[in-house]
Amino acid sequence: MIPNDIKITPELVKEHGLKPDEYQRILDLIGREPTLTELGIFSAMWNEHCSYKSSKKWLKQLPTKGERVLIGPGENAGVVDIGDGQAVVFKMESHNHPSYIEPYQGATTGVGGILRDVFTMGARPIAAMNALRFGEPTHPKTHHVVSGVVAGVGGYGNSFGVPTVGGEVNFHRRYNGNCLVNAFAAGLLKSDEIFLSEAKGVGMPVVYLGSKTGRDGMGGATMASAEFDENSAEKRPTVQVGDPFAEKLLLEASLELMASGAVIAIQDMGAAGLTCSAVEMGAKGNLGLELNLDMVPTREPNMTAYEMMLSESQERMLMVLHPHLEEQAEAIFRKWGLDFAIVGYTTDTLRFVVKHHGEVMADLPIKELGDQAPEYDRPWVEPAKQPVLDVADVPAPANYAKALLDLLGSPNLSSRRWVWEQYDHLIQGNTVQRPGGDAAVVRVERPNGGTAKGLGFTCDVTPRYVEADPYEGGKQAIAESWRNLSAVGALPIAVTDNLNFGNPERPEIMGQFVMALKGIGEACLALDMPIVSGNVSLYNETNGEAILPTPAIGAVGLMDDVEKTVGVAFANSEDVILLVGETTGWMGQSSYLYELYGREEGAPPPVDLALEKKTGDFVRDCVIAGRVTAAHDLSDGGLLVALAEMAMAGGKGARLLLPETEVPLHAFLFGEDQARYVLTASPIEASRLIVDAAMAGVAATAIGAVGGSELVIPGHLTVAVADLRERHESWMPSYMSAA
Amino acid sequence: MKSAVLVFPGINRERDLARAFHEVSGVAPHMVWHTETELPDVDVVAIPGGFSYGDYLRCGAIAARSPIIEAVRRHADRGGYVLGICNGFQIVTEIGLLPGALMRNASLKFVCKEVRLRVDNASTAFTSAYAPGQVIRCPIAHGEGNYFADAETLARLEGEGRVAFRYCDEAGETTDAANPNGSIHSIAGILNERGNVLGMMPHPENLIEALQGGIDGRGLFESLARVA
């Protein structure tokens, strides 16, 4: 066993991920050399993952307030009012590094962590999503990572009992050495029964709940704050192991305990485990905290203070309880078969004291541990913008049917059924819009009966766009989530962001971060979608190559009457197909260019936020008024891919009569201009919609009618819906079944 | 209809099942914790889906040894109705109230989707609201639903009309493509000899309202309401 009073060498400091100047800051702060346990505590609190030291300056500039926002960033998850005394709690968080090293366990613990964040606030989880990015399909590791991550996401969520209703899956070579696993969870609670982490009162018992502490996940947060190299597999022991059964018990026991009135404060043990949760509870409440590690339930004998403080064993919680309700609380946890131990007390000293075997292992100023973490204003340069691509530089396909089929059968646009059929998306019986559409919709019953409400959920970002222009790409991520929610009839109300970038110590990466956040912030303001929670994952690099900048957005929308939602499927023959929005034939960074020609060129489509707002509001109003039979936003692959998706979903074809335009046909069909949707409506309603759109200043054009079993553009394309389906559905299963 | 829904640690579809009973009968079921040794006075005991005890060791094996199980056995012996869905089906086979076992899906993957079921025996307490041979839609969500029984047991099940539901295609044909988990004879749900215990992998409780995409699952609960 390493003694606690070991000499702190520069090597030891480096191994803890602390820079020499950061160590000097520690010495200045405490006025002496730290003990080993103290060094571990500092490394846990001051790493990038926990301290946001590179990103804080920029995160502060994001819009986080709004009429509905009850709790913004800074707690375990954001809380947004949805009326009737109810609120939705949600957050998205990355588990990238662990998932690449150990895909199954990395993904399970990512899902477990985010679910815990949600129920720690007192909410029962009602929906989960996952934004997953993998390397190119031909890379030797990709198959293994996809298989393990998808099984892990399902393995945890299915057993826990939350419907996984949506997400994204993309492939790109820039994720070859560093996959992204971004897990989203949302829960429901009463808006006057929100639980927070702020400890209150001196001498209150600090209670440890859940699974036992083992040596797993030691230093995980520190690992997540470093780049990868060829030796990264050696970091496997830092990955935690998930136990969804324990988490399910912890959920039920925690909610039961909260209902009993015994809980003063609660914090889950996530990254940096006991250290982070204890310090946060004390520091937020302006209280000191003393822990007696002899009382911590351990899985293995002879664990040191250092190990216990840095363990990231899963499915654990820390609570401050009302002393007179201790027994009642313990009975609830015994009923669920979980460990329950009083491991400390709050104090008025503002010190974080850790005792083990009667000895003081750490004695640190609690406020400074959190507040005095280094904060960097890292140098950044604005990334060079790509020139706008001339449509003349993009070849038209020789055969439109083949081009469409190739797109639908490409790794990035093919059906994700293989993924979401491994996720239980129906449990709880409230899934109204299932995976595969624009946004998932989940029913929320009002406490006093009446028409049920709906919550819409979507995950979006187009990393290729962000790479080409972080500012426009950042705007686009928000705009696409706005469209996906509007298309199902939900009013977007708030956002969580999961900001995945490379090494912030490189000015060009920091530039991507700064500009993407600028775009995201502007879009959130313009579309009234405040950011209520989030997570930053930096150092996503392997051997010096960064991932595509990937600010994944998880957005939530609200419907007053869930029955009003519509899906993407063509519903009735003879329905008129309307193209809503302006089409200029924007081909820069399009899926057409990337999937068919392997070209990532040009500026991404610009996002006009005022136009997005106007168009989205118009579309949503039409959906809610019951005027349309289907609605779909236009994104990757443009108009023709969207129409094909509607045809496949409805099992019905369409005959298109395209308007006269100066835009070349291939750019009209495959261009990715923003702020566009396809709607279908009865012929009579369609004529009225065109008039109303004009009144609202929104472009809407009839482009054909639903019917038959083929998608037809006379003179250019005739393809059976069955053939579209065959290609769309086959890529992923055949890729995954190949060894 | 008076019903009870059993709750074991790790069960997670108990609310879905309770809702279905409530919707159809107008009465909320009793929720019964696994450590109880007596059941309330009910007509139907339902064992919901989920992952009791994490499905560690073997699906349903640990739950089958819970204190409440003796009371379930007595209830069945008295002729009371027992409905086991998904993990509940696994538990009921572990108890021995139904023959055979549920193995890992042939695909080796968890699968959640909507399938078609053919009602092969519509003259039971659980299926009388359906027409014989009727094809219904029903969600499934399981990793270990691959039903297996030895030849002799199968012959008895088939001969005695104890296969209540079979996986099939839209036309009602039992094909390999329409069998989501590799179950022998495409079996999705079976009855005991007396016809008062039904075990099935699919989740009719998740398709009882138009908002859920259909109401094909209601028939099972309506059938029980007729007799109980």
CATH number, residue A721: 3.90.650.10
Is some CB atom of chain B closer than 8 A to the CB atom of A562?
Answer: yes
- Mutate which of A156, A421, A434 to test chain B, going by most B C-beta atoms within 10 A? A421
Chains A, B: CB contacts within 8 A come to 81
- Whether A506 maps to a domain, the answer reads no
Q: Using the beta-carbon criterion (under 8 Å), do B141 and A337 form an inter-chain contact?
A: no
Cβ neighbours of B111 in A, within 8 Å: 421-422
Cβ neighbours of B12 in A, within 8 Å: 159-161, 248, 427
CA-wise closest residue to A557 among A477, A650, A488, A636: A488
CA distance B21 to B29: 7
Tens digits of per-residue pLDDT, B15-44? 999 999 999 999 999 999 999 999 999 999
Give a three-class secondary structure readout of A330-344: HHHHHHCCCEEEEEE
Full residue range of the structural domain in which residue B79 is found: 3-227
Cβ neighbours of B213 in A, within 8 Å: 434
In this predicted structure, what is the pLDDT of residue A674? 98
In this predicted structure, what is the pLDDT of residue A223? 54
In this predicted structure, what is the pLDDT of residue A272? 78
- How does residue B228 score in pLDDT terms, banded at 50, 70 and 90? confident
Distance from the B192 Cα atom to the nearest Cα atom in chain A, whole angstroms: 27
Q: Using the beta-carbon criterion (under 8 Å), do B56 and A245 form an inter-chain contact?
A: yes
Mean pLDDT of chain B: 97
CA-wise closest residue to A488 among A568, A552, A553: A568
Would you give the DSSP letter of residue A606?
Answer: P
Alpha carbon separation from B75 to A270, A612, B42, B72 (Å, rounded)? 45, 61, 9, 5
Cβ neighbours of A427 in B, within 8 Å: 12-13, 16, 141, 206
Q: Which residues contact A50 (CB under 8 A, 6 or more apart)?
A: A44, A221, A271, A272, A276
Q: Using the beta-carbon criterion (under 8 Å), do B50 and A422 form an inter-chain contact?
A: no
In this predicted structure, what is the pLDDT of residue A50? 82
- Amino acid, res. A311: S
In this predicted structure, what is the pLDDT of residue A224? 57
- Whether A718 maps to a domain, the answer reads yes
Question: Annotated catalytic, A49?
Answer: yes
Q: Are B175 and B184 in contact (CB under 8 A)?
A: no
Cβ neighbours of A151 in B, within 8 Å: 109-110
Q: Using the beta-carbon criterion (under 8 Å), do B16 and A161 form an inter-chain contact?
A: no
- Amino acid, res. A708: G
Number of domains in chain B: 1
- Whether A50 maps to a domain, the answer reads no
Full residue range of the structural domain in which residue A697 is found: 566-739
Average pLDDT per consecutive 10 residues, chain A (739 residues; last block may be shorter): 81 91 93 94 88 91 96 94 98 94 94 96 98 97 97 97 97 97 98 95 94 79 60 62 93 95 92 89 94 95 92 92 90 90 96 96 92 89 94 96 98 97 98 96 95 97 98 98 98 98 96 98 98 95 94 98 98 98 98 97 98 98 98 98 98 96 97 98 98 98 98 97 98 91
The CATH code of the domain that includes B153 is 3.40.50.880
Closest B-chain CA to A419? B111
In this predicted structure, what is the pLDDT of residue A51? 83
Radius of gyration of chain A (CA): 26
- Hey, what's the torsion of the CAs at B170, B175, B176, B178, to 10 degrees? 10
Cβ neighbours of A337 in B, within 8 Å: 9
Alpha carbon separation from A616 to A585, A627, A687, A704, B51 (Å, rounded)? 20, 15, 19, 22, 42
Q: Which residues of B make CB contacts under 8 Å with A?
A: 9-10, 12-13, 15-16, 19, 50-51, 53-56, 109-113, 139, 141, 143, 203, 205-206, 208-209, 211-213
Question: Annotated catalytic, B112?
Answer: no
Name the active-site residue from A49, A172, A356, A728: A49
Q: Which of A161, A336, A443 sits opposite B50 (nearest CB)?
A: A161
Number of domains in chain A: 1
Is some CB atom of chain B closer than 8 A to the CB atom of A342?
Answer: no
In this predicted structure, what is the pLDDT of residue A686? 98
CA distance A102 to B59: 25
Name the active-site residue from B59, B86, B138, B168: B86
CA distance A260 to A313: 27
Question: Annotated catalytic, A172?
Answer: no
Q: Which of B206, B211, B213 sits opposite A562 (nearest CB)?
A: B211
A230 burial type by CB count under 10 A (0-12 exposed, 13-18 middle, 19+ buried): exposed
Cβ neighbours of A158 in B, within 8 Å: 51, 110, 112, 141, 143
For residue A39, the surrounding DSSP H or E stretch is helix A36-46
The percent helix, strand, coil of chain B (3-state, each to 5) is 30, 25, 45
Q: Using the beta-carbon criterion (under 8 Å), do A562 and B15 form an inter-chain contact?
A: no
